[in-house]
């Protein structure tokens, strides 16, 4: 009921209908008054002529003539009111239907603007309205909306280029620093203190390299995906899990896999990086002797990848923070295990493929991160909207 009440087309149709009903009722009332006056005048002249032609008439005859006049007037009014009312009702129905049609035609440009806004809400800033209409209020609104999109598109593209250029520029001095440290450590006369310092500097250098690579991936993921190929996320998940096995063994974490074929259309490099970040995060932020479970599921219209793990107990209000760039939980601040971009990249890649990513905390500690990717690459496909699931629905058995 609320949707109909707020629908502009319905409101315009109701206004058209009420205006026509009031106008038609006023015309019918005016016609009744004019016809009544005309009949009164005509009947008065007719009776006067009869009196003049018949001479003197008795009071009974005069009363009979007056009664006949009133009967004729009442019959005429009832007939006119009945037939005029039926005509008005029929015309009101036709006018309401015409008002509905005309309102739809008038509001069609606004519907186009609304549809474009919905597509843009799915992170598609390259869409434009390009309304082909004569100059007017709606044309001015569409052109203003297109101008705003142009500025937003340029701003986001400039931001992405800045991140990519800055990351590329930072790679050169970091690579130079790594080379200098390795040369100093390889000298035969270098003391043990230099070796220890060199190892620490190389660890810091490696962390900075990971941060720069993450920035590059994030900048690329937030741009439009131009390369789309059919790829099986189960295969990518298997490769990512093999890559993380060495880290998992060092941390005492077991990685379990439940992989079923789940083909999607997208950028294989970005999708592999997304899955690798999921598994890497689940492995790094774990507990000794913990586990990580990787699952892929194929649905009729989308594919899912679910990564769950053990770990520290996380409150539900802290989960949205994990998807923000450079944001970590309190126990992760100052940690060298990550740059704070892992789940940000996951969500950016998923949304670039018209999907999304959500996370829910496990009751015993750790997270369940669920990514849904649409299997269709149609450019007009709406973004996938997923609701957070309950943790027990996705909690796997311990490997």
- pLDDT confidence tier of residue 131, bands split at 50, 70 and 90: confident
How much of the chain exceeds pLDDT 70, in percent? 75
pLDDT at 236 over 80: yes
Mean pLDDT of 65-88: 79
Q: How far apart are CA 115 and CA 118, in angstroms?
A: 5
Nearest one of 326, 333, 377 to 352, comparing CA atoms: 377
Distances (CA, A) of 96 to 21, 29, 103: 10, 21, 10
Contact 362, 308 (CB under 8 A): yes
Rounded to whole angstroms, the Cα distance separating 188 from 198 reads 14
Place of tokens 């949205």: 320
Which pLDDT belongs to residue 49? 61
Task: Give the per-residue pLDDT at 308.
Answer: 93
pLDDT digits (tens, 9 = 90+) for 121-130: 555 666 777 7
Both tokens of residue 357?
A: 């990513």
**Residue 354 in this model has a pLDDT that exceeds 70:** yes
Q: Please state the pTM of the whole predicted model.
A: 0.53
Residue 391 has pLDDT above 70, yes or no: no
Q: Quickly state the pLDDT bin for 220 (edges 50, 70, 90).
A: low
Please state the rounded mean pLDDT for residues 334-358: 74
Q: Which of 298, 302, 235, 246 is nearest to 271 (CA)?
A: 235
Q: Which helix (H) or strand (E) holds 80?
A: helix 59-121
- Whether residue 217 is predicted with pLDDT greater than 80 in this model: the reply is no
What single-letter DSSP state applies at residue 192? H
Above 80 in pLDDT, residue 52?
no
369, pLDDT greater than 90: yes
Average pLDDT for residues 197-210, to the nearest whole number?
79
Q: pLDDT > 90: what percent of the chain? A: 14
Structure tokens belonging to residue 369: 């991160």
pLDDT of residue 398: 42
Region class of 130: left (phi > 0), else alpha (psi between -120 and 50), else beta: left
Angstrom distance (rounded) from CA 153 to CA 222: 12
* Residues 110 and 131 sit within 8 Å (Cβ to Cβ): no
Tens-digit pLDDT profile for residues 270-290: 888 889 889 988 998 888 889
Give dist(CA 17, CA 2) in Å, integer: 20
Round to whole Å and give the CA distance between 195 and 80: 111
Residue 247 CA to residue 142 CA, distance in Å, equals: 53
Using CA atoms, how far apart are residues 263 and 297, in angstroms rounded to an integer?
Answer: 10
Q: Is 126 exposed, middle or buried (0-12, 13-18, 19+ CB in 10 A)?
A: exposed
pLDDT of residue 325: 67
- pLDDT value of position 379: 38
Output the pLDDT for position 132.
74
395 band by pLDDT with thresholds 50, 70 and 90:
very low
- pLDDT above 60 for 378: no
In the predicted model, is pLDDT for residue 57 greater than 80? no
Q: Is the pLDDT of residue 120 over 70?
A: no
Q: What is the pLDDT of residue 380?
A: 34
Rounded distance between C-alpha atoms, residue 342 and residue 214, angstroms = 8
pLDDT band at 253 (very low <50, low <70, confident <90, very high): very high
Which backbone phi and psi does 106 adopt, to 5 degrees? -70, -35
pLDDT tens for 301-342 read 889 999 999 988 888 888 888 887 665 554 443 444 555 667
**Residue 386 predicted with pLDDT over 60:** no
pLDDT in tens, 86-107: 888 899 999 889 888 988 888 8
pLDDT of residue 235: 93
| Residue range 39-68: mean pLDDT, rounded | 62
What confidence tier does 222 reach under pLDDT thresholds 50, 70, 90? low
pLDDT (0 to 100) of residue 259: 92
Find the range with the poorest average confidence among 24-38, 62-76, 178-192, 340-354: 62-76
Which helix (H) or strand (E) covers residue 68, if one does? helix 59-121
Q: How far apart are CA 344 and CA 341, in angstroms?
A: 5
162-172 pLDDT tens trace: 777 777 777 78
């Amino acid at each position: 009921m609320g949707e109909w009440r707020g629908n502009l087309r319905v409101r315009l149709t109701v206004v058209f209908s009420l205006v026509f009903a009031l106008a038609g009722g006023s015309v019918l009332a005016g016609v009744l008054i004019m016809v009544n006056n005309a009949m009164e005048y005509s009947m008065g002249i007719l009776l006067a002529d009869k009196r003049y032609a018949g001479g003197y008439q008795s009071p009974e005859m005069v009363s009979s003539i007056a009664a006949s006049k009133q009967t004729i007037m009442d019959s005429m009014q009832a007939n006119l009111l009945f037939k005029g009312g039926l005509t008005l009702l029929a015309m009101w129905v036709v006018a309401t239907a015409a008002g509905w049609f005309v309102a739809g035609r008038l509001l069609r440009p606004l519907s186009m603007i609304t549809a474009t806004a919905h597509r843009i809400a799915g992170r598609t800033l390259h869409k434009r309205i390009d309304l082909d209409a004569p100059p007017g209020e709606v044309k001015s609104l569409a052109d203003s909306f297109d101008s705003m999109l142009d500025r937003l598109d340029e701003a986001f593209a400039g931001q992405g280029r800045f991140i990519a250029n800055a990351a590329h520029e930072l790679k050169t001095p970091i690579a130079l620093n790594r080379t200098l440290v390795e040369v100093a450590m390889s000298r035969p006369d270098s003391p043990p203190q230099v070796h220890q310092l060199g190892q620490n500097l190389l660890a810091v250098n490696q962390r900075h390299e990971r941060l720069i690579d993450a920035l590059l991936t994030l900048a690329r993921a937030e741009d439009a995906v131009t390369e789309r190929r059919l790829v099986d996320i189960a295969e990518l998940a298997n490769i990512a899990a093999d890559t993380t096995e060495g880290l998992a063994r060092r941390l005492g974490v077991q990685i379990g896999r439940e992989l079923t074929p789940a083909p999607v259309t997208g950028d294989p490099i970005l999708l592999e990086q997304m899955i690798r970040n999921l598994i890497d995060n689940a492995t790094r932020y774990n507990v000794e002797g913990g586990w990580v479970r990787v699952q892929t599921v194929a649905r009729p219209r989308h594919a899912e990848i679910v990564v769950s793990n053990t770990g520290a107990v996380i409150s539900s209000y802290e989960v949205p923070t994990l998807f923000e760039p450079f944001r970590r939980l309190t126990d992760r601040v100052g940690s060298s295990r990550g740059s704070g971009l892992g789940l940000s990249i996951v969500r950016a890649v998923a949304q670039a493929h018209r999907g999304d990513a959500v996370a829910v905390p496990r009751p015993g500690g750790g997270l369940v991160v669920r990514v849904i990717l649409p299997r269709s690459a149609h450019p007009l496909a709406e973004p996938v909207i997923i609701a957070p699931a309950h943790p027990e629905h996705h909690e796997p058995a311990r490997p």
